Amino acid sequence: MTRVEKALRRIVADLERTSLPFALVGGFGVSARTEPRFTRDVDLVVAVPDDAAAEGLLAELGGRGYVIVAAVEQLAAGRLATARLASPSTRDDELIVDLLFASSGIEGEIAARAEALEVLSQLVVPVARVGDLLALKLLARDDDVRPLDAADLRALRSVAGADDLGLAREAAELIQRRGYARGRDLVAALDELLGT
């Protein structure tokens, strides 16, 4: 078992001890929906009603050995967007778990729509749907810093059905409407990806 797989198993077990809905996103989420690919971290959306709940979860995880490496605020909403944690499952401080609380503004919807999939042997995890993963990748895309984003978008597009594309459009519109689009036109970016 790789260090990243250990970190995934550990954070899933720790999140399952809470009552907070969550879903796997990022490279692991894309791999679960398309073809397996290498990833160095674990990304999960966690549905929390407010920053106090996010901070409570972080305190609980701190008690289990996680170390907060960084926190990012969503400036437009004034919310804790993402917490980057070093996983206690290995001694490698660079093994990162990213918890997204208010990065896209639709974490609750993503977690509610997630489907339980076996992502590793004997590990079933709620995984974001293809449409939600498309919207999140369009939001986070940075071809200079993360060249895998473009490949992930192509892979997701190749497996997306009509319902997935409808969900991607709905998610992109909702991210924009809630003010989390980071100055991007996600609907136009989706249209460009689809060639429409």
What is the three-state SS of 9-53?
HHHHHHHHCCCCCEEEEHHHHHHHHCCCCCCCEEEEEECCCCHHH
For 60, the token pair is: 């609980």
Per-residue pLDDT tens over the stretch 1-53 = 788 888 999 999 999 999 999 999 999 999 999 998 888 789 999 999 999 99
Among residues 187, 148, 190, 163, the alpha carbon closest in space to that of 28 is found at 148
CATH of domain 3-194: 3.30.460.40
pLDDT in tens, 113-151: 999 999 999 999 999 999 999 999 999 998 888 888 999
Domain ranges of the chain: 3-194
Q: Residue 174's Cα: distance from chain center in Å?
A: 16
pLDDT at 143: 83
